[in-house]
Structure 1
Amino acid sequence: MKVITTETGKEKIVAIALTGDGRTELKVLEAIAQRYNGKERAMLFPKSPLGGTSKGTSIIKTAELVAKITGITTVLIMIDREHVQDIEGPLRETLKDAEIGPGNPIIARSKNMTILVVILGKKKAIEENLAELINLEAGKQVVDPKLPVKELKSQIKYILKTEFGKPKSIKKFLERCKMENIERAFDGLARALKLLEDF
């Protein structure tokens, strides 16, 4: 599945992707999504949803409006775990008649739209998923996933500049990783992308 930031009219867009803040999610999504049904389908990741960013679960409240503006009724939302207190409340506010399933992704379906919420990070953020993937690829612990997020970002950046053939970017690193390691480290996102293959 191809991830695009602007529509060209040539792609069959199956979902729109939204995140609270940060661009790491876009790099990860681009690299992983292309390994699922890459030629036939696309996902729209707007550069600036509704002219700004929303932190945490507040992005859920913008999903219905984004769907109305774009006409795309399936929305994939990626949220770092540290910003999650209550997912079901905002989902019920947005989709009042929704059926909400447990798990990761959390799937909320109403008559008019579907929202898939992927929770990233083991305790805090997406960098923990990246650390797990790096360690799986290395076959040993080369990154400490228990570091504070800021330090973890620095360690990941350093490792990618010095190891694994020096891919430098997260996207290039992810493109080289074994699929089984990606699906283990990013289990929620992998499950969501598999579901979107059938939309």
Structure 2
Amino acid sequence: MLTKREMKKEENPNSSTEIKDEQERFSRLILDIQKREGNVESAAVLKVASKKMDTNPFFPQALARVYYIELKDYNKAEMWAKEAKKRDPQSSFVADTLGQVHKNHLNYLNPLNEKRKELHFVDRHRTALIKGVRDTGAILDKLMDEELISNETYDAVRALTTPQDQMREILRFVSSAGRRSKDAFYQIIKGMKNLKHLISELQGSR
């Protein structure tokens, strides 16, 4: 359940009549964990499975994929991809993951990506923050305490139904308000205990 990736049907954007089968990026269970709890939690689940099932190559392989695809932590991705290969050195499927880690890491280090590295933490990790942050109420309260948002903005965000939508709106406001708001927001989430692991993972993916 943690490693089996299902096939999905996807419409070809260049042809409205052509439907192609494409494999999901992760198993349905991992995708569900990512949606509900975030990428860091999905990595934690796979890490536990990898250590308990210490001869199975597919758990560390899936963990390596989470690290390089979602968290951009190429060092940990390489470590777990090597562990997967160690468990099944004859599998080209498993070995390919290590190759993908190196390929994506090189692409990330490409000088053309320097502009991305210069972005503010909030801008650089916008998608990961939307997926990974759930305690939006506490963030809103702290933004109010520091007089960075109005009562109207506070109420408008709280009226949104999902944490992802709330986080998306918070980030939209913070980004539009300028560097000071981004810095304040970063300090807020950096100081939240329940976000410690997420922030640490994102800082390590620079």
TM-score by length of 2: 0.30
Highest RCO, 1 vs 2 (Cα 8 Å, sep ≥ 6): 1
The structure with more radius of gyration: 2
Greater helix fraction, Structure 1 or Structure 2:
2
Greater strand fraction, Structure 1 or Structure 2:
1
TM-score by length of 1: 0.31
